[in-house]
Amino acid sequence: MKPVSRILAAFLLACAASTTVAQAAQPQPRPAEAGVPTSSVSTPPLTAGDLSTFFGGMVPYMLQRGDIAGGVVVVVKDGRVLFAHGYGYANLATRAPVSPADTLFRIGSVSKLFTWTAVMQLVEQHKLDLDRDINAYLDFTIPPRFGKPITLRDLMTHTPGFEDTARDLLPATPAGTNLERYLKAHLPARIFPPGQIVAYSNYGAGLAGYIVQRVSGEPFDDYIQRHILEPLDMRHSTFAQPLPANLAPLLAKGYASASDGDAKPFELANPAPAGAMTSSALAMANFMIAQLQDGRFGDTRILSQQTAELMHSLQHTSAPGLNGFDLGFYQENRNGQRIIGHGGDTVVFHSDLHLLLDAHVGLFMSFNSAGKDGAVNGVRSAIFHAFLDRYFPWHVLPEPAYKDAKSDAMRVAGSYESSRRNQSALRFLYLLGQANVQALPDGTITVSAIHDSAGSLVHWREIGPLHYREVNGQDLLDFVADAHGRILYLATSENPTSILQRMPARFSPATFMPLLGIVLAILLVAILTWLGDWLIRRHYKRSLELTHAQRILRRLSRLGVLAGVTVVVGWLLFVTVISANELLLVRGNLTPWMFLLYAIGVLALLGVLAVVANAAFAWFAPRRGRWVRVGEVLLALAMLYLAWFIAAFGLVSFNVRF
C-alpha cells in the first residue's frame, strides 16, 4: 500500500521488447535457470507437528531480534488448515497474546486480491470485459494519452501507466475515505503507454474497485461482504473503515516497534479497494483454500474453475522467464514451485500471502510492527524462503560466468530510477532515490537497492547475455536493451511490481550531487564574501562607486543568489522532514511549503539573469580587478547550472499532484 521505499524510493522506457504478454501457461525456464529438487535427500514432512517446531524455533527469535510486537502464521494444505499460531503480543499494554482466530490485522495491499477476485466474478458473469476501455464503466473520464485506452487487464497487471500517488493515501478522518470522491480528486498523470511498463499502482486498484461498485450496483464494501467474505465464512474480515463495533475490540494494536510501546491510531487507507481490509489469519486461510481449489470452498464457489485458472495465469512479465503478473496476483516462483501471492503494508502492519499452486499449499503471515529499521521486511522474506527451503528444497545447478561478463558489467553500470515514481510534484525526491548498478573487478555487479536478509548488497553473476543470477542464490536479474543495444531497464524475479529504468548521466546522483555541492559552495562563499565586504566598507565608511543602474543590478544579482541557495536548501529540508514523518507528505500538510519553494525557485531563475548581466558588466567595466571579474563569471556559471537544475528537476512546476 505504501509508496515505494516509504515515499522516497519508495521498495522504470517503453519499447517493443519491454513486455511479454501471454494468456496461457507460464514460459518454461531457460536452461540457465535449471535446478534439481533435493527432497530425496532429507525433506521433513509437511505436518502440523513439524510446522510447530519449525515456526516455533524461528518466529519468536525473529520478533525479538527485529523488535516486533507480534505476528501470526497460518498454513493450509489440500483444502484444510494445517497449522495456525500467534506469536508475541496483540496488545503490549495488556500483554494480550496474538490469536490466529480472533486477532485482527490490517492486511494492507493483500486487500487487492479481494478486489481482483470481485472483478473476475463480474468478468465471469459477462458484466465486465478485461480488454475494454475502462472509461465505459466510469462516470468520469480518464483522459486519452498514448493513443491507447486503459483496460482492466492493464489495471490487474499494474500496467495502466499511472505515476505513483501518495497524497491522502492515509487520511486523517473517515470522511476522507469516500472512494468516488478520492478517485475523482486524485487522478494521476499517465507517464507510460498502457500495457507496457509495470509500475505498481494503488490508484489503479481503486479504479477497479469503483468499477465493481458501479457495475454491480452495490457499495464496494457490501459487494465484497456478500459475494466473497460471506461465502467463504470470513466472519472476522471487513473492508469497513473504521471497524464495525463487533470487530473493533479484536484489532491488534499497531506499533512502530515493540520497544517503542506506543500504540498507533487506527490506520485509514485510500483508496479502500487497494488496502483497507482487516482480517484474522484463520479467515485468510479460507480465502487461500478457495484460491488453491480454483474458486471452490466446501460446497460453495466464488469463481468457476476456468475463471480461477485464468486469474492464475501469466499476463505480463518485464523480461522473458522472470516472475511477472497474473491477473492481480504476482508470481513468486521459487524452489521449483509455481507460486503466486501478494504483500501488504500500512505504516505499522505488514502481511504476506503465498500460494504454492501445484503443491496446494498456502502461507499467510502478518505482523503488527515495522520493527527496528523496518526489520519486518527482512523477517517476512526470511520466513518464506526458509519455509520453501525446508519443505520444498531446491538446488541450483552451478553455471560458469558468461564470457563477456566484465565488459557487460561496465555496460550496465550506472543509475536507474524506479518505474513506480511521481513526476508531477516529487520528481526531485524520486531522483534522489535512484539505484546504482556498480561493476566489480571480477565481472559481477551489485545494485544499491537490493540487499540480502543481513543487509549486505547482493552480488550478481552474468550467466547469459545481460542475464544475471544471484551469487549463491536463485534470484534472477535481467537487463533489457533496445534494438541498438542501449540499456533500457533492469527487472528482477524477486520484485515483479516495478522495473528500474536507466537514467542519463546528467540525472544521476553521482553527477548532479557533486556538481550541486560545488555550486552551493560557490554561492555560499560569494554570500560570505559580500557580507565581509559590506562589514569592511561599513567600518571604514566607504561605498562602491556605482551608477544607480549598476547598484540596482548588483542588488538583484545578490538577491538571486540568495534565492538559489534558499530553494536548494529548502527542498533538501523538505526531503529530510518527510523522511522523518511521511504522514506530513501523504496528508498534504507540506503543500504550502511546496508552493513557497516553487515561488522562491522562480525568483532564483529571474536572479540568474541579473547575475549574468552583472558578470558581463564586471568583465567589461574599467577599474574592476582580475579576481573580481573571475569571481563574477564563476558565480554566473554556477547560477546557470542551478537554473538548469531547478527547471530539469521540477522545482518550479507549481504542481502539488502526488
Three-state helix/strand/coil letters over 482-519: CCCCCEEEEEECCCCCECEEECCHHHCHHHHHHHHHHH
* Residue 436 β-bridge partners: 415
pLDDT, average across residues 49-57: 96
Average pLDDT taken over every residue of the chain: 89
**Cβ atoms of residues 151 and 135 within 8 Å:** no
Distance CA(463)–CA(477), nearest Å, equals: 10
Distance CA(254)–CA(349), nearest Å, equals: 6
The angle formed by the CA atoms of residues 303, 305 and 309, to the nearest 5 degrees, is 100
Alpha helices in 503-658, H assignment, sequence order: 509-540, 548-580, 583-586, 591-620, 626-648
Give the pLDDT confidence of 173-192 residue by residue, as tens digits. 888 889 999 999 999 999 99
Residue 40's Cβ-side half-sphere holds a number of Cα atoms within 13 Å equal to: 3
Give the pLDDT confidence of 119-150 residue by residue, as tens digits. 999 999 999 999 999 999 999 999 999 999 99
What's residue 588's pLDDT?
82
* DSSP state, residue 477: E
The SS3 of residue 228 is helix
Distance CA(445)–CA(480), nearest Å, equals: 16
Q: Locate 411 and state its grid cell.
A: 555496460
Sign of CA dihedral 452, 454, 455, 459: negative
Q: Locate 603 and state its grid cell.
A: 525568483
What's residue 84's pLDDT?
98
Q: Which residue has the cell 484474522?
A: 280
In this predicted structure, the answer to whether residue 27 has a pLDDT above a threshold of 70 is: no
**Cβ atoms of residues 40 and 47 within 8 Å:** no
Question: Cβ of 465: how many Cβ atoms within 10 Å?
Answer: 12
Q: Which residues contact 322 (CB under 8 A, 6 or more apart)?
A: 476, 478, 491, 492, 493, 496
Q: Which residue has the cell 470481485?
A: 118
SS (H, E, C) 564-582: HHHHHHHHHHHHHHHHHCC
What's residue 581's pLDDT?
85
Helix axes 626-648 and 548-580, enclosed angle (nearest 10): 40
Backbone angles phi, psi at 206, to 5 degrees: -60, -40
Q: Locate 379 and state its grid cell.
A: 523477517
pLDDT, average across residues 616-631: 66
Of 150, 227, 139, nearest to 180 by C-alpha is 139
**Cβ atoms of residues 295 and 303 within 8 Å:** yes
Of 652, 582, 449, 654, nearest to 166 by C-alpha is 582
The CA-atom distances, in angstroms, between 351 and each of 94, 379, 380 are 23, 11, 8
Give the pLDDT confidence of 252-271 residue by residue, as tens digits. 999 999 999 899 999 999 99
Question: Cβ of 325: how many Cβ atoms within 10 Å?
Answer: 23
* DSSP state, residue 263: P
Domains detected in the chain: 41-395 (3.40.710.10), 405-503 (no CATH), 507-648 (no CATH)
Highest-pLDDT range among 32-46, 71-85, 552-566, 576-590? 71-85
**Cβ atoms of residues 404 and 398 within 8 Å:** no
567 by Cβ neighbours in 10 Å (0-12 / 13-18 / 19+) ranks as: buried
In this prediction, residue 428 has a pLDDT band, given cuts at 50, 70 and 90, of confident
Q: Which residue has the cell 501471454?
A: 22
What's residue 42's pLDDT?
72
**Cβ atoms of residues 470 and 8 within 8 Å:** no
What's residue 396's pLDDT?
83
In this prediction, residue 202 has a pLDDT band, given cuts at 50, 70 and 90, of very high
pTM: 0.89
What's residue 533's pLDDT?
67
Q: Locate 570 and state its grid cell.
A: 529548502
In this predicted structure, the answer to whether residue 30 has a pLDDT above a threshold of 50 is: no
What's residue 241's pLDDT?
95
In this predicted structure, the answer to whether residue 113 has a pLDDT above a threshold of 90 is: yes
In this predicted structure, the answer to whether residue 275 has a pLDDT above a threshold of 70 is: yes
* Residue 279 β-bridge partners: 105, 237
How large a percentage of the chain has pLDDT more than 70? Answer: 90
In this predicted structure, the answer to whether residue 310 has a pLDDT above a threshold of 90 is: yes
Of 461, 457, 480, 458, nearest to 469 by C-alpha is 461
Q: Locate 571 and state its grid cell.
A: 527542498
Looking at residue 97, its amino acid is: P
